[in-house]
Amino acid sequence: MKRWGLALIFLVGLAVACLHAPASALPLSHSRSWVDRRVDQLSASELRTLPPTRLVDADRALVAERLVRVRRPLFWCSSLIQIFALFWAWRSGFAAHLRALLASRLRNRHVLRGVYAMIGVALLECVALPFLWLSYHLAYIVGVSREPLLGFLRDVLVATGVEMLVVAAIIVLIMALVDCVRRWYIAAVGAFLVLGVLAVVLVPVVIDPLFQKSVLLAPQSAWGRQLYPLEARAGVGTVPIFLTNLSRTSEVGNANVAGLGPTRRVFVGDSLLQTATPAEVRFVFAHELGHIAHNDALTVTLLADLLLIIALAVALLLAERVAVRGDDDPLARLPLLAALLGMVSLFVLPVGNAYSRMVEARADRFGLAVTHDDVAAARLFVRFADEGFTPICPPSIVRWYFYDHPPLGSRITTVTGRPDGC
């Protein structure tokens, strides 16, 4: 018991040390690259008339295609190997052995379940780590990411620590409901929905600060005078704007909405301000205001929860049809359930992505209605394609399965009032 306690204290201490590691300060200046200057020189006529494939840099588009040929197999290898690892952990008896080992040292069943779940998450992340590193390394060598290796490892460790705590809490809660409530599945569905909404509320104030430094944008600042008036034009009330040090990890500009109610805010990455024109920044911000106007954070979260509940129900039905091992119990069968959940989730993924594409297309229309600047919107999408090595027009099957945003080529032609360029 003492050894397990010391190990747990060590892990928690290490996570706390990482959580409080100082983030780099927001950069004050940034020299614009030749990619930015090339995109700046595209005329309004070119952006409104040329096919999207002729707007992007040909050499970078070729690299983007090569990257995709690596990243897609990487996704499938990572997913399937993790599923296999979970199935092996159950089938080989490793899960049952781990449960028995912990049970001999931990008398409280809730603590036992929580520690078991945390160890399982940690081991699974070890399986995924090589694939995470390969993805990071690809982004680093092509210049999309500037994050040093130690920064990447810190982010992985922090994310793993958060995931361990969240999964452990969910496992303990659900198994406690099974113990105490006859119709536990009804209570579990309600708990998933409530926890999903609570997560949206807490993420910007609890989770996001672990990965990025942000500062509140003053209304009287140069950027504040450009962005805050758009909120009144969009009719969304007053929403705080925070500048984040996104450039710590990515050269590609971005912005996003996070939170609900009192925690709702818009994060604007410093790399966006450094690379995009003011008109492009205004369009991105108006796009994010569209998410607020349509309450997309809540609807996307509820849909994700619903899809998770459906996938979990299917996984439970499949698990019931798998023969029980002699040393099985509900805790030892969790890896089997997780493996089946992973398999079902691969089939559910396109459903969530399809809804997300619809939401993003609607936000594009909202941003265009607020700014009335189709040239800035089209230029921004060209910049995203060039900076991020993103294929401008992916194959239809790839778009259907993987893309949670419309392809950039489609977005360019849509905002400029043309038929879908992809």
By the 10 Å C-beta count (0-12 exposed, 13-18 middle, 19+ buried), 366 is classed as buried
The two tokens of residue 330 are 């509900």
DSSP one-letter code for 207: I
214-291 folds as: Zincin-like (3.30.2010)
Closest to 403 measured CA to CA, from 347, 345, 357, 346: 357
Helix (H, G, I), strand (E, B) or coil at 24: coil
By the 10 Å C-beta count (0-12 exposed, 13-18 middle, 19+ buried), 222 is classed as exposed
What is the per-residue pLDDT for 230?
A: 94
Q: What are phi and psi of 214, to 5 degrees?
A: -135, 150
d(CA 337, CA 410): 39
In sequence order, what DSSP letters do the residues of 109-178 get, joined into one string?
A: HHHHHHHHHHHHHHHHHHHHHHHHHHHHHHHHHHTS----HHHHHHHHHHHHHHHHHHHHHHHHHHHHHH
CB 404, CB 356: distance < 8 Å: yes
Span 156-167, pLDDT tens digits: 999 999 999 999
DSSP one-letter code for 341: H
- List C-alpha distances in Å: 105 to 41, 109, 299: 67, 11, 43
* pTM, full prediction: 0.85
d(CA 139, CA 146): 8
The amino acid present at 375, given as its one-letter code, is V
DSSP one-letter code for 215: E
What is the per-residue pLDDT for 35?
A: 85
Q: What element of type H or E holds 10?
A: helix 2-19
**Strand 255-258 vs strand 265-269: parallel, antiparallel, or unpaired?**
antiparallel
Closest to 71 measured CA to CA, from 157, 142, 126: 142
What is the per-residue pLDDT for 30?
A: 52
Q: Could you tell me the end-to-end alpha-carbon distance of the chain, in angstroms, rounded to an integer?
A: 61
The two tokens of residue 13 are 């201490």
CB 4, CB 105: distance < 8 Å: yes
What is the per-residue pLDDT for 9?
A: 40
Helix (H, G, I), strand (E, B) or coil at 267: strand
Helix (H, G, I), strand (E, B) or coil at 236: coil
Q: What element of type H or E holds 269?
A: strand 265-269
Each residue's pLDDT tens digit in the chain (422 positions)?
Answer: 444 444 444 444 444 444 444 333 344 445 577 888 899 999 999 999 999 999 999 999 999 999 999 999 999 999 999 999 999 999 999 999 999 999 999 889 999 999 999 999 999 999 999 999 999 999 999 888 888 999 999 999 999 999 999 999 999 999 999 888 888 888 888 888 898 889 999 999 999 999 889 999 999 999 999 999 999 999 998 999 999 988 888 888 889 999 988 999 999 999 899 889 999 999 999 999 999 999 999 999 999 999 999 999 999 999 988 877 777 888 899 999 999 999 999 999 999 999 999 999 999 999 999 999 999 999 999 999 999 999 999 999 999 999 999 999 999 999 999 998 78
Taking residue 171's Cβ as centre, other Cβ atoms within 10 Å add up to 20
Largest separation between any pair of C-alpha atoms in the chain: 73
In the chain, domain spans? 2-19+31-213+292-415, 214-291
CB 228, CB 219: distance < 8 Å: yes
Could you tell me the sign of the dihedral formed by the alpha carbons of 384, 388, 389, 395, in that order? negative
The two tokens of residue 179 are 């113990």
d(CA 212, CA 159): 12
CB 219, CB 225: distance < 8 Å: yes
Taking residue 108's Cβ as centre, other Cβ atoms within 10 Å add up to 9
d(CA 376, CA 374): 6
What is the per-residue pLDDT for 55?
A: 94
What is the per-residue pLDDT for 252?
A: 86
CB 47, CB 72: distance < 8 Å: no
What is the per-residue pLDDT for 27?
A: 45
Closest to 124 measured CA to CA, from 321, 322, 342: 342
